[in-house]
């Protein structure tokens, strides 16, 4: 069954369901893990990568691979760990030494981005309509003299932003949180493509570093 965007499509391509295709997935923690099919694709459906590769050839392009193994070889040079494991594995790295006084800025999309669920979940949808914010543990807030409800400046190697502060014990000590998909702030400007980064936090009107 086509979704609400179906009427706008010029063509519908039958993609295989998740249990019908081989591949791997990476979760928000950077863990890469194999996924295995439990049955062949139904009818004319095909795996996503095969559809994209065929479309590219039909349009006069070439994605550079013809098999899933070829795609994995290309991926191996771009991602860590280099090979997805049969069991879940984690890979942690940093681009530079992290000073003890730094906080770790992390982010992820809020629970509801869009789609049918948000149409029926008014409270969750309302969360996406809030102004962007920064969450910090009470101990870290006190150490850096940032106050709940006031503005703070968060800096990383990639950029900076001035955000209202929420002091909460829901955030671990040593970490600060900024929603990735909050309207009014592109969190990737602070993270440069990553989901964590070393950060400093100070009152917005302060002149020095924290």
For residue 194, pLDDT over 90 is answered with no
Q: Which residues, 6 or more positions from 88, have their beta carbon under 8 angstroms from its beta carbon?
A: 31, 33
d(CA 75, CA 101): 35
**Assigned domain for 143 exists:** yes
Angle at 48 between CA 116 and CA 114, to 5 degrees: 20
* Phi and psi torsions of 205, nearest 5°: -95, 10
What integer pLDDT is reported at residue 118 of this predicted model? 47
Q: In which band, very low, low, confident or very high, does the pLDDT at 138 lie, cut at 50, 70 and 90? A: very high
pLDDT digits (tens, 9 = 90+) for 105-136: 766 544 333 334 445 555 555 656 677 888 89
What is the span of the domain harbouring residue 70? 8-76
Q: In which band, very low, low, confident or very high, does the pLDDT at 47 lie, cut at 50, 70 and 90? A: very high
Whether 181 and 143 share a structural domain: yes
**Assigned domain for 95 exists:** no
**Assigned domain for 186 exists:** yes
Model-wide pTM > 0.85 = no
Query: β-strands 134-136, 103-106: how paired?
Result: unpaired
- 1, burial (CB in 10 Å: exposed 0-12, middle 13-18, buried 19+): exposed
Whether 72 and 107 share a structural domain: no
What integer pLDDT is reported at residue 202 of this predicted model? 92
Question: Looking at residue 189, which CATH number applies to its domain?
Answer: 2.40.40.20
Whether 63 and 107 share a structural domain: no
State how many domains the chain has. Answer: 2
- Range 91-99, long-range pairs (CB < 8 A, 24+ positions): 91/30, 91/31, 91/32, 92/30, 94/198, 95/157, 96/157, 96/198, 98/198, 99/198
Q: In which band, very low, low, confident or very high, does the pLDDT at 137 lie, cut at 50, 70 and 90? A: very high
């Amino acid at each position: 069954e086509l979704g609400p965007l179906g009427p706008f499509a010029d063509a519908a391509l039958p993609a295989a369901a998740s249990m019908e295709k081989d591949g791997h997935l990476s979760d928000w923690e950077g863990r890469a893990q194999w996924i295995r099919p439990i049955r062949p694709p139904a009818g004319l459906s095909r795996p996503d990568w095969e559809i994209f590769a065929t479309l590219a050839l039909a349009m006069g392009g070439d994605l550079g691979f013809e098999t899933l193994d070829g795609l994995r070889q290309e991926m191996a040079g771009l991602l860590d760990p280099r090979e997805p494991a049969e069991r879940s594995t984690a890979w942690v790295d940093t681009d530079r030494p992290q000073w003890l006084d730094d906080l770790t800025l992390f982010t992820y999309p809020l629970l509801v981005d869009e789609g049918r669920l948000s149409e029926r979940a008014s409270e969750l949808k309302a969360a996406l309509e809030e102004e962007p914010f920064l969450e910090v543990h009470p101990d870290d807030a006190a150490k850096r003299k940032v106050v709940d409800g006031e503005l703070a400046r968060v800096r990383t190697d990639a950029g900076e932003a001035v955000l209202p502060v929420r002091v909460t014990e829901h955030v671990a000590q040593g970490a600060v949180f900024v929603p990735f998909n909050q309207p009014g702030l592109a969190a990737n400007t602070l993270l440069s493509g990553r989901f964590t980064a070393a950060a400093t936090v100070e009152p917005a009107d302060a002149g020095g570093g924290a």
